[in-house]
Amino acid sequence: MLKNLLPMPIRNQLRPTWQTMRRNWRENPASPTPAEWKPVRERAHRETDFDVLLGMAQDEFGITQVRTEISALIDRLRALQPQVIVEVGTHKGGNSFLFCNAVTSGQLVVGVDLCVQNGDKLVHFTRKGQRYYPLHGDSQTEAMKARVQAKLGGRAVDFLFIDGDHSYKGVKADFDLYAPLVRPGGIIALHDIVADHRTRYGRETGCYAGEVHQFWQELKERYDCEDLVENPEQDGFGIGVVRVR
């Protein structure tokens, strides 16, 4: 292999890049070419109807949201007009797609996940003047925070969406690390603030909302918060909105 000819310090420096390239290829080896994405992207860029865009987020990427909840969040973001957006826990990328295409003010969008699925496709679906940076790795580290900050280039975050590790420790770590990057007047949203039925009734349903609800109750005592919940009896889901002062 050509890389074996390189000196060890350089090989070590390049290792994370090779690992990311290998992971991207393994993740989506038969992805369609950008030429096939182009007409869909053009349709997305012309579209303003939220429901149509949500359908595209589902069909083209995959998204795990209750329609009325994500719609209410997008309404608030359309009012806020965020330019700098950070999403922790992108999964298949449906939310990132919406944050770029249903909220068109976004200029700089950073997505963090252990493995950001559909990263290339998300980059392809950005609009004119937008940049999307998929960052693979553990969000709960100072090293990842530094990588996010490097992409932000000194700009404050207008909107932070947290939907990564759902353990109490995990969601708190994400909040504690990334919330200080959000500017006064900005919004932080947490997904899965409603406890799932396993937690509430000991009934296994396959839905997992973890312990986000516990952390959410703590935030509600400290911040200006709003619950976007379709039905308080539902099994998980629910979006919590924090308005940063």
Ligand X SMILES: C[S@@+](CC[C@H](N)C(=O)[O-])C[C@H]1O[C@@H](n2cnc3c(N)ncnc32)[C@H](O)[C@@H]1O
Instruction: Choose the stretch contacting ligand X; rule: CB under 6 A; options: 17-25, 118-126, 134-142, 222-230.
Output: 134-142
Task: Pick the closer one to ligand X by CB: 35 or 193.
Answer: 193
Q: How does DSSP classify residue 159?
A: E
Specify burial of residue 153 (Cβ count, 10 A radius: 0-12, 13-18, 19+): exposed
Task: Pick the closer one to ligand X by CB: 7 or 147.
Answer: 147
Instruction: Choose the stretch contacting ligand X; rule: CB under 6 A; options: 36-44, 107-115, 145-153, 182-190.
Output: 107-115
Closest residue to bound ligand X by CB: 89
C-alpha 194/C-alpha 233 separation (Å) is: 8
177 and 223 in contact (C-beta within 8 Å)? Answer: no
Q: Is the dihedral of CA 133, 125, 69, 165 positive or negative?
A: negative
Task: Pick the closer one to ligand X by CB: 102 or 128.
Answer: 102
CB of 95 to ligand X, least distance (A): 5
Q: By C-alpha distance, which of 125, 51, 67 is closest to 93?
A: 125
Task: Pick the closer one to ligand X by CB: 3 or 169.
Answer: 169
111, 119, 164, 238: residue in contact with ligand X (rule CB under 6 A): 164
